[in-house]
Structure 1
C-alpha cells in the first residue's frame, strides 16, 4: 500500500476489555504503511465482551462516545474509522455523522470473503448467529453468507486460552468448510492473528477479520472532501458536553 501523505485513522474497540484493544494493536500496528497514524480508543462504558443484543446496543452508543471523545481531543480530520468488533456496533450511526469513511470488522470481512464466492463465518458465542445474519442482510451480503459456525466459548474465553482456541476453532473451521462455501471468515477482535495459525489445517481461504478491517479501511479512505464534515442531525440532552461540541447539520 503506497500511502505517502500523513494520514490519521481511528480504531475503536467498542467493548471495555483492554486486552482486546491490546490484541488489535499488537496485530495491526506493525502492518501500518509509512505515513499512517492509527489512534486507538477503548469504550469507556458497556460490556467487557459483546455477546448479546443488549451489549451490542450499548456498544453502539459507546462507539459514538469514543468517536466524539477523539474528535474533542485531537484537532484535524480523520481519513477513516474502523470499528474493532465483529458485529460492527454503531456502524450506520458513525457513517452518518462522520465526514470520513467508516467500516467494521464484519463488513470488511464480508467484502473480502464475497470476492471468493459464498462464505461462512466461524466465531465464538451462540447468540451472535442471528445478529450476524441480520447484519449481513443489512449490508447486502445475506445471499453470500451460507453458514455460521459458532463455538461454545465466547470471544473472551477464546482469547484467554490460546491453546484451547486453536483446537476449538480448527474443528469449527473444518466443519464450516463442508458447507459448500468458497471462503471462511474467522470473526472476532480477540481472534486477530489466529487465521494464519489455523490456515494450514483448513482447506479453504481463511479471512482474519482484524486484518480485513485494516485493509478495507485503508483502501476505502481518502482525504476528507471539502464539502463533507462531521455533524449530528439531533440536539442532545443529558449527554456529555463533548457531544454538544460536534456541530449539528442543517437539515433544512
Structure 2
C-alpha cells in the first residue's frame, strides 16, 4: 500500500527527511512517497505562507495522488486538510490533527511547542476549530522558525526543552507535542528533560496514517465540480 506524504513547504531536504522517518516506522508492504510543494514558502511561518501552502498541497495531490491509499500532510498546521479531505477518496491525515489524537490518548490536556512566534495564535485557532479548545493547555513558541531549527537542531535543544517543561509545569499539559516538520526526530532527545511524554508530530502523523489505511475517508460533503482559471492542469482537472 502507498501513502503519499505531501510537504507543504518547498524545501526538498525536509521532504527527504520526513519520508526517511516514515519509512523506518512503516510495516512491510507500506511505502511512503514524498511530494514537495511546487510553489510557496521554503518553510511556513505565517498566515500568508500557510494560505499559499494549502493551495500547494492540493496541487501536489492533484499531481501525485493517483493510486495513493492514504495521504499525510507533512506540515504542522495541516494546510489544506479539510479541502483535501473534500476531494480525496482516501483517508487524509495532518500532523497537527493526528498529534492531538495521539496526545489525548495519553492525557486529558496537551500542550504544543513549536518554532516561529506567528504559530502561537494560528495553532490556538486551529485546535479550537478541531474541537480541542478545552483540551489544549497552551501553545508555546520559540523564536527560531522550524526551518531554522532544522538547520541547527543542536542550538535549539535547550530552548525547546525549557518550553516543553514550562508547558508541563506551568500550563498543566499532561503531554507535549513537539510540532513541525523541521523538528522531526527531536522529541526523543528531549524525553529525559521533560516530566511528561513528548510527542513527535511527524511520528504521530505517520502512525495515524498507517492506521488509517483501508479505512473510510472523512465523510465531508463531496466537492462539487467547478470551472477554474489559472490553476495547474492537474488541479484544474481535479476540481473540474
**TM tier relative to shorter chain:** over 0.9
In the alignment, the residues of structure 2 paired with residue 232 and residue 29 of structure 1 have an alpha-carbon distance, to the nearest angstrom, of: 35
Displaced runs of 4 or more, over 6 A: none
In the alignment, the residues of structure 2 paired with residue 108 and residue 91 of structure 1 have an alpha-carbon distance, to the nearest angstrom, of: 11
SS in 1 for 2:176: strand
TM-score w.r.t. the length of structure 1 is: 0.88
1:4 maps to what in 2?
Answer: none
In the alignment, the residues of structure 2 paired with residue 99 and residue 28 of structure 1 have an alpha-carbon distance, to the nearest angstrom, of: 22
SS in 1 for 2:138: strand
1:122 maps to what in 2?
Answer: 113
* Contact 1:98/1:231 (<8 A) preserved: no
Instruction: Describe the shift of the 1:204–1:112 C-alpha distance in structure 2 as closer, same or farther (beyond 3 A).
Output: same
User: CA offset at residue 12 of structure 1?
Assistant: 0.3
User: CA offset at residue 111 of structure 1?
Assistant: 0.5
User: CA offset at residue 232 of structure 1?
Assistant: 5.4
Are 1:15 and 2:9 counterparts? yes
In the alignment, the residues of structure 2 paired with residue 35 and residue 92 of structure 1 have an alpha-carbon distance, to the nearest angstrom, of: 28
User: CA offset at residue 25 of structure 1?
Assistant: 2.0
1:159 maps to what in 2?
Answer: 150
Q: State how 1:49-128 maps to structure 2 within 5 Å.
A: 49-71=43-65, 74=66, 76=67, 78-115=68-105, 116-128=107-119
> C-alpha root-mean-square deviation of aligned residues, in Å?
1.9
SS in 2 for 1:236: coil
In the alignment, the residues of structure 1 paired with residue 156 and residue 195 of structure 2 have an alpha-carbon distance, to the nearest angstrom, of: 19
* Contact 1:91/1:102 (<8 A) preserved: yes
In the alignment, the residues of structure 2 paired with residue 38 and residue 215 of structure 1 have an alpha-carbon distance, to the nearest angstrom, of: 12
In the alignment, the residues of structure 1 paired with residue 185 and residue 164 of structure 2 have an alpha-carbon distance, to the nearest angstrom, of: 15
Gaps of 5+ in 2: none
1:3 maps to what in 2?
Answer: none
Deviations 1:76-135 (A, max 9, x none): 3x2211000110000010000000111110000010111211010000011001110111
* Contact 1:24/1:190 (<8 A) preserved: no
* Contact 1:159/1:165 (<8 A) preserved: no
Q: 2:207 aligns with which of 195, 215, 220?
A: 215
User: CA offset at residue 243 of structure 1?
Assistant: 2.2
Deviations 1:180-238 (A, max 9, x none): 1211000011111111111011110111000000111111231678xxxx965322222
* Paired residue total: 236
Gaps of 5+ in 1: 1-6
Q: 2:194 aligns with which of 192, 199, 202?
A: 202
